[in-house]
Amino acid sequence: MTQRRITPVILSGGSGTRLWPLSVPDRPKQLLALAGEQTMLQATAARVADRARFAAPVIVGSERHAAQIEEQIAAAGLSCGTLILEPAARNTAPAIALAALAADPGDLLLVMPSDHLIRRPEPFLDAVFAASQWAAEDWLFTFGIRPDRPETGFGYIQRGEQIGSGVFQAAAFVEKPALARAEAYVASGSYDWNAGIFLFRAGAYLAQLGRFEPRILGAASAAMGKARRDGRLLYPAAEEFAASPSRSIDHAVMEKASRIAVTPVDIGWSDVGSWDALFEIGTAGGEHASGSGQVVAIDAENCLLRADGITLAAVGVQDLVIIATQEAVLVIPRGQTQRVREAVEMLEKRRP
Amino acid sequence: MTQRRITPVILSGGSGTRLWPLSVPDRPKQLLALAGEQTMLQATAARVADRARFAAPVIVGSERHAAQIEEQIAAAGLSCGTLILEPAARNTAPAIALAALAADPGDLLLVMPSDHLIRRPEPFLDAVFAASQWAAEDWLFTFGIRPDRPETGFGYIQRGEQIGSGVFQAAAFVEKPALARAEAYVASGSYDWNAGIFLFRAGAYLAQLGRFEPRILGAASAAMGKARRDGRLLYPAAEEFAASPSRSIDHAVMEKASRIAVTPVDIGWSDVGSWDALFEIGTAGGEHASGSGQVVAIDAENCLLRADGITLAAVGVQDLVIIATQEAVLVIPRGQTQRVREAVEMLEKRRP
Determine, for residues A312 and B329 on separate chains, whether the beta-carbon distance falls below 8 Å.
yes
Q: How far apart are CA A181 and CA B117, in angstroms?
A: 59
Q: What is the pLDDT of residues B104-143, one digit of tens each?
A: 999 999 999 999 999 999 999 999 999 999 999 999 999 9
Tell me which chain B residues have a C-beta less than 8 angstroms from the C-beta of A315.
330-332, 336, 339-340, 342-343
Tell me which chain A residues have a C-beta less than 8 angstroms from the C-beta of B296.
343, 346-347
B349 and chain A in contact, CB less than 8 A: no
Give how far B318 is from chain A: nearest CA, Å. Answer: 10
Give the distance, in angstroms, between the CA of residue B180 and the centroid of all CA atoms in the same chain: 26
Q: Who's near B280: CB < 8 A, 6+ residues apart?
A: B270
**Which of A329, A304, A307, A303 has the alpha carbon at shortest distance from A316?**
A303
Tell me which chain B residues have a C-beta less than 8 angstroms from the C-beta of A313.
21, 328-332, 340, 343, 346-347
3-state secondary structure chain A: CCCCCEEEEEEECCCCCCCCCCCECCECHHHCCCCCCCCHHHHHHHHCCCCCCECCCEEEEEHHHHHHHHHHHHHCCCCCCCEEEECCCCCHHHHHHHHHHHCCCCCEEEEEECCCEECCHHHHHHHHHHHHHHHHCCCEEEEEECCCCCCCCCEEEEEEEEEECCEEEEEEEECCCCHHHHHHHHHHCCEEEEEEEEEEEHHHHHHHHHHHCHHHHHHHHHHHHCCEEECCEEECCHHHHHCCCCCCHHHHHHCCCCCEEEEEECCCEECCCCHHHHHHHHHHHCCCEECCCCEEEECCECCEEEECCCEEEEECCECEEEEECCCEEEEEECCCHHHHHHHHHHHHHHCC
What residues in chain B have per-residue pLDDT under 50?
1-2, 284-286
Q: How far apart are CA B12 and CA B40, in angstroms?
A: 10
Tell me which chain B residues have a C-beta less than 8 angstroms from the C-beta of A340.
313, 315
What residues in chain A have per-residue pLDDT under 50?
1-2, 284-286
**Which of B315, B298, B306 has the alpha carbon at shortest distance from B275?**
B306
pTM of the model: 0.88
Q: How far apart are CA B172 and CA B159, in angstroms?
A: 7
Question: Across the interface, which of B322, B328, B343 has its CB nearest the CB of A310?
Answer: B328
CB atoms within 10 A of CB B335: 13
Tell me which chain A residues have a C-beta less than 8 angstroms from the C-beta of B17.
none
Q: How far apart are CA B266 and CA B120, in angstroms?
A: 8
Give how far A331 is from chain B: nearest CA, Å. Answer: 5
Contact yes or no for B141/B199 (Cβ under 8 A) = yes
Give how far A89 is from chain B: nearest CA, Å. Answer: 28
Q: How far apart are CA B96 and CA B114, in angstroms?
A: 13
Burial class (CB in 10 A: 0-12, 13-18, 19+), A75: exposed
Determine, for residues B312 and A328 on separate chains, whether the beta-carbon distance falls below 8 Å.
yes
Tell me which chain B residues have a C-beta less than 8 angstroms from the C-beta of A327.
310-311
Tell me which chain B residues have a C-beta less than 8 angstroms from the C-beta of A301.
none
* Long-range contact set of residues A167-174: C-beta below 8 Å, sequence gap at least 24: A167/A131, A167/A134, A167/A261, A167/A262, A167/A263, A168/A261, A168/A262, A168/A263, A169/A260, A169/A261, A169/A262, A170/A142, A170/A254, A170/A260, A170/A261, A170/A262, A172/A255, A173/A250, A173/A254, A173/A255, A173/A260
Q: How far apart are CA A20 and CA B216, in angstroms?
A: 57
Question: Across the interface, which of B324, B332, B340 has its CB nearest the CB of A329?
Answer: B324
Contact yes or no for A112/A249 (Cβ under 8 A) = no
Tell me which chain A residues have a C-beta less than 8 angstroms from the C-beta of B318.
none
Q: What is the DSSP string of B237-295?
A: -HHHHHTS----HIIIIITT-S-EEEEEE-S-EE---SHHHHHHHHHHHT--EESSS-E
Helix pair angle (A202-212, A214-225), 10° resolution = 120
ipTM for the predicted complex: 0.87
Contact yes or no for B321/A304 (Cβ under 8 A) = no
Give how far B348 is from chain A: nearest CA, Å. Answer: 11
**Which of A258, A269, A275, A260 has the alpha carbon at shortest distance from A323?**
A275
B313 and chain A in contact, CB less than 8 A: yes
Determine, for residues A313 and B339 on separate chains, whether the beta-carbon distance falls below 8 Å.
no
B307, containing H or E segment: strand B304-307
Q: What is the pLDDT of residues A36-50, one digit of tens each?
A: 889 999 999 999 999
Give how far B160 is from chain A: nearest CA, Å. Answer: 43
Give how far B284 is from chain A: nearest CA, Å. Answer: 25
From chain A residues 16-35, the ones with a CB under 8 A of any chain B CB are 21
Contact yes or no for B101/B218 (Cβ under 8 A) = no
A351 and chain B in contact, CB less than 8 A: no
B306, containing H or E segment: strand B304-307
Determine, for residues A313 and B343 on separate chains, whether the beta-carbon distance falls below 8 Å.
yes
Helix (H, G, I), strand (E, B) or coil at B319: coil
Q: How far apart are CA A325 and CA A346, in angstroms?
A: 18
Q: How far apart are CA B214 and CA B253, in angstroms?
A: 11
B319 and chain A in contact, CB less than 8 A: no
CB atoms within 10 A of CB A77: 9
